[in-house]
Structure 1
Amino acid sequence: MTLVTIDTSAVAESDRLDFWRSTVCDNFVALNVAPTGTGLVAGRVTAANVADTHLRRISSVPHTFERTERQVRRADEDYLQIALARRGRTLVVQDGREAVIGPGEFVLYDSSRPFTFATSDSFEYSVCLHPKRDLPLSAAEMASSTAITFDGRRGVGALLPPLLSSLDRAVGDDLPEAGQAAVARTIGDLFVALVRSRVPAGAQNLHLVRARAYIDDHLADPDLDPAQVAAACAISLSYLHKVFADADESVAGRIREQRLQGAWADLRRSDLPIGAVGARWGMPDPAAFSRSFRTRFGLSPREHRRS
């Protein structure tokens, strides 16, 4: 768990703004980064990873950070995030709600939908980005918990600041892979506790869990469809659709999204031909794969690989 610190003071004044914008997008998610002052931008980011969970601390002058619909479409980041205010006050907007956080308060927000952070003065946050795929939460539960102010001094919320502070202190130590996975699970458990402390929890439907697992294990099968999933789970097709609808998903949408996310990652790390990547993820028709990829991410598979 290597701790990395990036500071704009190490960069020539003429390059600082571009450097800062790149630093923020590289360490968080793609954003419009707009300092609201007229002087030189000054900022600092400290970054570390625990398994697939990202821990960040950021401080700077007043800003507006905006995640747009276009940026969401073009990205593969899919995190539920926590921003804990250490200094300054911030307006957070997502999912039709607005929250204001000050020191000791925090919000949850979702990288897969647009959001805005607008600070009124200089600020400092601790931020945790946790993969949504590792959270046993429905899409409806997560969407109902964003842009709500949590008090980090009371209730379940009081668990968060000391956890993030202890991680800040421990993150420089060597921790085996198994230990990192255990720490990441602990962080995920806290996310679940926070969401369900504010959002009424429905019991996780066992059929939904089984159906998602079956889909994830059979994405390479080009014939995978809702009927096959229902048969494998020994439930009716109509009930399968209901189970997914209750979780604010669709069966076909889940299959398509998981395939495209897998292809997105493979195009970054694999030298396979583009058509072979599509076929590997159950999309053997190159033209159809390219159309679906462009619709989801806003660029073609070839453009993504080139970038």
Structure 2
Amino acid sequence: MRVTTETARADERFDFWHSLFPRIEMRHTARDDGYGAAALTCAGDDGIAFTDLVCAPTASRFFDGRVDDMQLCAVVEGQFGVAHGQDEREWLGPGSGLHLLDCHRPAQTHSETSYRAYHITLPRAAVYRAMGSDPIAGTGALRSLPDTPLALLLKDQLGALARHGPNVNPAEAAAAMTLLSGLTLTYLQGFNTAAPRAGKRLGETHFASACRLIEARRDDAGLTADAVARAIGCSRASLYRLFEQRGLSVAEHIRAVRLNHGRVLLREPRLGIGDIALRCGYDDLSAFGKAFRRRFGMSPRDWRMTLS
């Protein structure tokens, strides 16, 4: 999917762009009145998405503490600054590695010139499972990661997806996103150092077990936080803490896993949407449709139509 400000009137382009990101405060930082931005996005069925972003000079502030995503960013052209944590400031530009941004924590970005960047949006749970209990230490929202050989391979994949993504069909796009997800998570796993304390190791084990259980029982309409806690051998309060420490809620994660699975099943035209809802743990087709629209911006039927 590609969106661009070129579809709006010149004097309405910034407002149009801002309307696409309701959780972010934005202002135009250039001295001229023009504004131009575009984004090419491709989403995988595991909740991981790729965006090729070209943006005019802009200042942004993340203020919604319930965002359940993290982003891995590679700047291709231009640069922008990030202010976060306790007065930490960094400038990100080409050749500066990859940068992990926690959208759950307060941060501000600022650019004086246009820039282009590739973003990989990742579910928080996937990042924590790959990197361990503390992907970004302290109060900061940004962690810069080095250009390892795998990082360079990942950047090549991002560039190829940006160049060829508009010309592939949905099945090919899904295959490309599966490859991108594997490269990204393997790269992040390289920064997972073993926790020195047994309590931390136990917490990571319980969190990983809870995530695996939710994925295995995503079709169970009766799956609740109580059921998950009993199955992995901890109290419900402890389970809530495990997820809250990672900026997540148990219910939101269960819902995300079910709806991502729904996207996979919608690729199979022989399955009715009612049957898909049941396989995703929804007894009520209407509830499934509303939840799907809230997460993906369109109904299950409309999303299926985009595949054809």
Using structure 2 for the length normalisation, give the TM-score.
0.62
**Which residue is 1:79 aligned to?**
69
Residue 95 of structure 2, aligned match among 83, 86, 104:
104
**Which residue is 2:56 aligned to?**
61
Deviations 1:75-121 (A, max 9, x none): xx532212221222222234555432112333111233332211243
**Which residue is 1:168 aligned to?**
162
Q: How does 1:88-167 map to 2 (within 5 A)?
A: 88-96=78-86, 97-105=88-96, 106-135=98-127, 136-137=129-130, 140-144=133-137, 146-152=141-147, 154-167=148-161
Deviations 1:234-253 (A, max 9, x none): x4649x93996499359xx7
What amino acid is aligned across from residue 159 of structure 1 in structure 2? Answer: L
1:34: Cα distance to partner?
Answer: 1.1
SS at match of 1:143: coil
1:259: Cα distance to partner?
Answer: 6.2
Q: Structure 2 stretches of 5 or more lacking a match?
A: 196-200, 261-281, 284-308
Tell me which stretches of 4 or more aligned residues in structure 1 moved more than 6 Å.
259-265
**Which residue is 1:211 aligned to?**
210
Contact 1:141 1:201 in 2 (8 A): no
- CA 1:40–1:113: 2 relative to 1, 3 Å: same
1:162: Cα distance to partner?
Answer: 1.0
Contact 2:60 2:110 in 1 (8 A): yes
Find the aligned partners of 1:194 and 1:95 in 2 and give their Cα distance.
25
**Which residue is 2:13 aligned to?**
16
Find the aligned partners of 1:248 and 1:79 in 2 and give their Cα distance.
14
**Which residue is 2:273 aligned to?**
none
Using structure 1 for the length normalisation, give the TM-score.
0.62
Aligned residues: 248
Correspondence 1:184 to 2:177: yes
Find the aligned partners of 1:171 and 1:95 in 2 and give their Cα distance.
35
